[in-house]
A = this chain, B = another copy of it.
């Protein structure tokens, strides 16, 4: 039997329903949709990093990274990132932050899909990730 393990980074608020911020089974680590919430103390409500796309994208990617690392993986292991934006006009700026964030990547970059959806009020970006571990 292959164990399935929930991944919960220290600074992540409790999930608003019965799901895990990340889950690992065998060599697969799936990161749930992350948004721009700042790290919180246990029991605190999450707060968004700021109103701008830049602030939220940076924090969202940092949160993806936090889940990966709490699950024993790293950005290098990611094979897919799904980027959800709310406005096509945000694409170029999201890419700038994205490229800065992944500037030091040694392995091949992950694949990516970007689509434009609705998100809860005040959120401009959501990102999830699929990692395949060694």
Contacts and interface: CB of A to CB of B under 8 A. Distances in A.
Contact of A98 (B18, B30, B33, B84): B18
Given A2-B132, A4-B76, A120-B91, A115 B18 contact: no
A48 interface: no
Given A2-B132, A79-B23, A32 B113 contact: yes
Interface size class of A (residues with CB under 8 A): 35 or more
Interface in A6-47: 6, 15-28, 30-33
Of A5, A31, A118, A119, most B-chain CB atoms within 10 Å: A118
Interface of A: 1-2, 4-6, 15-28, 30-33, 76-77, 79-82, 84, 88, 91, 95, 98-99, 102-103, 105, 107-121, 126, 128, 130, 132-134
